[in-house]
Structure 1
Amino acid sequence: MKDKKFIIILLIAVIILSMPYFLRILSGNPTFIGDSYYHTRIAKIIDSKSVSYADNLVHGGRTYFLNPYHVLLSFFSGFLGMELTARLLPLFLGLLSLSLFYFILRRYMVKDRFLITVFLIISPIFAYTFTVLNEHSLAIFLILLGNSLILLKKKWFLALAVLIFALLPFISFFSVIFNVILLLNQGIMDKKNSKNIFTALLFLVLFSIISFSVFNLDIEKSIAKLGVEEFISDFGGLLGFSIFILVLFVLGLAYLWNKKYITIYLSLIILLAAVFYFGSYVNQYLCFLVVIFAGLTFNRLLRRKWSLTAIKNFTLIVLICGLIFSPLSYIKILSDYPPDHKIVYSLDFLRESSNEGDIIFSHYNNGFLIESIAERPVLLDGLLNDIPFAEEKLQESSEIFYSSNLIDTKQLLEKYSIE
């Protein structure tokens, strides 16, 4: 029975993660989704480059340091082709991450693990993380894999976990922070396995300090301003939570309050605050914690004795409908997300009608598409943190977009050699 439940979870996950691309292809749009183009571009060129090189398709250039995610993408594309790899790799990592998450919940004897895992796969953030190419999908998988190995309580599994964690600094600085907080809380709560957990934590911190010092790796920081809508998918946030899952999460924090778990609550506050510093991608990691509280709360609502059955039924119907509607609407958003064949045609025309060194001015959200399809340098793209003088360029880009003064606009365009 337990195996059947898990198979059902995997089948639902496959359907949800496959639907965006299935709908795109069905509508005659075989293109990748959004930021996937940056990762496919880098994966195609890393074979001919060194570990570190200058990416000159953005104004001022930026130093690229080899990311394990791009190595993995390049490796599989070598025999599967980039078209197939770009669609299968996120799905593959998603199913593995889901399996490991379920395994961890089972090892900690969480009774509501089936419901919690269902909440995870219907979360819009889960759909994005494991549908669109992004390095955080690999970081999440490695964190879950390493923590699963530690739970097996064998020395060589612990050694393997330490080696896996050593890759995290090369993917994302926040992934290191998240895993440190995760291990710290596990070490405090799991007394029987605390020695192994704190050993892994110590090595993770040491490896990270050495990696960031020796290789001068970047520490991500959000430059673009984040609004409330960025955190709620129902308001248009691409990396936002379902408002119904958020409500259950907040209720869970209050309902399940226990002074024994004060470190967990403090950790959640730190992680939630980190969103404003690092950016909305932090939600991809937080999602795995948020759904635990949401799932536990929903189960309490199901089992709770209500004085009025009608109110209970109405509340549950609203929640269930909201939870089902949210992933369905989000799948439609992903399936319609740029680019489409018209945009690709326009970018092909741009490539043919411009010179190789011409800098293209556009909103930074379009940067990756211009770099990858039009093969032209841009003023800004989605990796604002890695671009020299990005804040100044972002401010002046806004001035160009909204300026009514032709002379000022011309001066700004000339400043960046935009013709």
Structure 2
Amino acid sequence: MKRKEVKKILLILIVSTVLLSLFHIFRFLKTSLLPIYDQYLYKDFSVILPFIVSILNILILYLILRQILKNDSERFFVLLLFIMSPIFIFVHGTLNNIYFSLTLILLSVFLILKEKHFFSVFVFLGAFWVNQNYVFLILIILTIFLERNMVKNSFFPYISIVFLIGLFTTFNNYNTYLNLHLIITDFISDFGAQIGFGVFSLILFSIGILLSWKQKAKHRIFYFCMVSLFFMSLFDKDTLIFLNIFISLYGGFALYYIYKRKWSSENLKNYVIILIMCGLIFTSGSYIKKISDSGPFESEYISLKWLSNLAPGKVLSDYKFGHFIHSISNFDVYSDTNYYLYSDKSRINYYTKIFQSRNLEEIINFLENNNIKYIWINQEMKNSIWETEEQGILLILKNSKHFTKIYDYEVEIWEFNKHSN
């Protein structure tokens, strides 16, 4: 490896470290608890593990790019877009079960490229063990690389991918209407998406696709894969994390083209590059600010640790906090983000109705039928679900002997006692 190439890798690692450090600084100014996404399994390693894995993911991705891109400057621009993407910050800045799966899948791809198929199978199995939701994604990746050894113009990989996506949609009965209806806010971080792409990255990606179209036969399996991943992301937003690698790849092609192309005006070229870099920095900065301001906060964490010492029972809260509540307290929850994504939203509709109800009998029947023992309410819920303290179930909680407020410090926890007179 040349010294110039090593310097570029070090620069990428420095930039990624700066971005993640800025996120941690902004976050720890508010709370010592990192945002939790889904059911986080690695509590004992909290802050340090995502940071270490971020370095591993960058290095493994670089090794993969070395196998498919000959130009080190192209590799540099691809990695630059990758580490400056909001998705990179999300995956390696929050507590989630995604980043380690990403490491294993990237490692298995690298092993396949190095023709270490025996070891790659074991790594893929490890990725499946860590997160079973990625089984279809893993099979699609295997199909893509199988295409390298197929007869030219064979349709087998494409038919296989369509078949796998059909199975994926069958086994993941998610609701696509919401994502299609709010496509902008669901997929673009600048417009509010928690897991989404930056506007400038998408612009560069579009340019990269146009540039690659001259060699579309060479890229067609990747085009097909990107369309497949996008379709899968309508059902499971985590798929965007893997689609982001392709966005960075083709965006890197475009950035390299802009950098190397001969311009009639050198000043214009510099202005365009500066504009692009400012756009990428702005997207990263605004996303860091947004996610560092989001919950959960320490007071919420403390309330759930306190709750975990009580008698076990199912907890009712807003679906957005379901995974967080379960991860910290180990108590079952009535609803979480999985129920929100499923096409059958009956649970969401039921508890939404109950939250607005003042009918004591209706509320008690609902809680009894669903074996709910605790109700967990934070400040965000009070601000978004109800307009006043006397609205809906809040009024019933205060005035019925069936409910006892057992915790009240920035978070309210109510215990339900169906036998109270």
- Unpaired stretches in structure 1, ≥5 consecutive residues: 41-72, 74-81, 196-200, 209-217
Question: Are the equivalent residues in 2 in contact too, given 1:90–1:133 (CA < 8 A)?
Answer: yes
The residue aligned with 1:7 is 10
Which of these residues, 82, 88, 94, is aligned with residue 48 of structure 2? 88
The residue aligned with 2:397 is none
The more displaced of 322-331 and 409-418 is: 409-418
Q: Distance in 2 between matches of 1:369 and 1:262?
A: 41
The residue aligned with 1:29 is 31
The residue aligned with 1:142 is 104
Q: Taking structure 1 as reference, are residues 345 and 152 closer, same or farther at Cα in structure 2, changes over 3 Å only?
A: closer
Question: Are the equivalent residues in 1 in contact too, given 2:315–2:334 (CA < 8 A)?
Answer: yes
* 1:180-211: CA deviation from partner (whole Å, max 9, x where unpaired): 333433343x55xx79xxxxx9xxx9xx9xxx
The residue aligned with 2:400 is none
Q: Distance in 1 between matches of 2:361 and 2:222?
A: 52
Identity across the alignment (%): 26
* 1:251-298: CA deviation from partner (whole Å, max 9, x where unpaired): 222232133122221221111111112x21111111111100011012
Question: Are the equivalent residues in 1 in contact too, given 2:82–2:88 (CA < 8 A)?
Answer: yes
Which of these residues, 20, 34, 44, is aligned with residue 17 of structure 1? 20
- Unpaired stretches in structure 2, ≥5 consecutive residues: 152-156, 165-169, 373-415, 417-421
Question: Are the equivalent residues in 1 in contact too, given 2:175–2:341 (CA < 8 A)?
Answer: no
Deviation at 1:408, TM superposition (A): 9.2
Q: Taking structure 1 as reference, are residues 184 and 331 closer, same or farther at Cα in structure 2, changes over 3 Å only?
A: same
The residue aligned with 2:154 is none
Which of these residues, 208, 222, 247, is aligned with residue 174 of structure 2? 222
Which of these residues, 318, 326, 333, is aligned with residue 275 of structure 2? 318
Which of these residues, 120, 132, 140, is aligned with residue 161 of structure 1? 120
- TM-score using structure 1 length: 0.72
Q: Taking CA–CA contacts closer than 8 Å with sequence separation of 6 or more, which of the two structures ends up with the larger relative contact order?
A: 1
The residue aligned with 1:274 is 232
Q: Distance in 1 between matches of 2:173 and 2:18?
A: 34
Matched AA of 1:240: G
* 1:294-336: CA deviation from partner (whole Å, max 9, x where unpaired): 1101222233345566655544333211101111222222322
The more displaced of 298-307 and 125-134 is: 298-307
* SS at structure 1 position matched to 2:337: coil
Which of these residues, 246, 249, 256, is aligned with residue 202 of structure 2? 246
Q: Taking structure 1 as reference, are residues 30 and 220 closer, same or farther at Cα in structure 2, changes over 3 Å only?
A: farther
Q: Distance in 2 between matches of 1:152 and 1:372?
A: 38
Question: Are the equivalent residues in 2 in contact too, given 1:169–1:176 (CA < 8 A)?
Answer: yes
Q: Distance in 1 between matches of 2:22 and 2:273?
A: 27
Q: Taking structure 1 as reference, are residues 405 and 253 closer, same or farther at Cα in structure 2, changes over 3 Å only?
A: farther
* SS at structure 1 position matched to 2:202: helix
Question: Are the equivalent residues in 1 in contact too, given 2:187–2:196 (CA < 8 A)?
Answer: yes
Question: Are the equivalent residues in 1 in contact too, given 2:301–2:328 (CA < 8 A)?
Answer: yes
User: Alpha carbon RMSD of aligned pairs, Å?
Assistant: 3.5
Q: How does 1:277-292 map to 2 (within 5 A)?
A: 277=235, 279-292=236-249
Q: How does 1:226-375 map to 2 (within 5 A)?
A: 226=179, 227=182, 228-257=184-213, 258-260=215-217, 261-277=219-235, 279-306=236-263, 312-347=269-304, 356-357=312-313, 359-373=314-328
Question: Are the equivalent residues in 1 in contact too, given 2:322–2:335 (CA < 8 A)?
Answer: yes
* SS at structure 2 position matched to 1:222: coil
Question: Are the equivalent residues in 2 in contact too, given 1:234–1:242 (CA < 8 A)?
Answer: yes
The more displaced of 232-241 and 10-19 is: 10-19
Q: Taking structure 1 as reference, are residues 151 and 125 closer, same or farther at Cα in structure 2, changes over 3 Å only?
A: same
Question: Are the equivalent residues in 2 in contact too, given 1:220–1:385 (CA < 8 A)?
Answer: no
| 2:383 is the alignment partner of 1:382 | no
Deviation at 1:11, TM superposition (A): 2.0
Larger radius of gyration: 2
The residue aligned with 1:117 is 79
Q: Distance in 1 between matches of 2:194 and 2:85?
A: 12
Deviation at 1:159, TM superposition (A): 1.3
The residue aligned with 2:63 is 103
Matched AA of 1:9: I
Question: Are the equivalent residues in 2 in contact too, given 1:174–1:282 (CA < 8 A)?
Answer: no
* SS at structure 2 position matched to 1:360: strand
Matched AA of 1:135: N
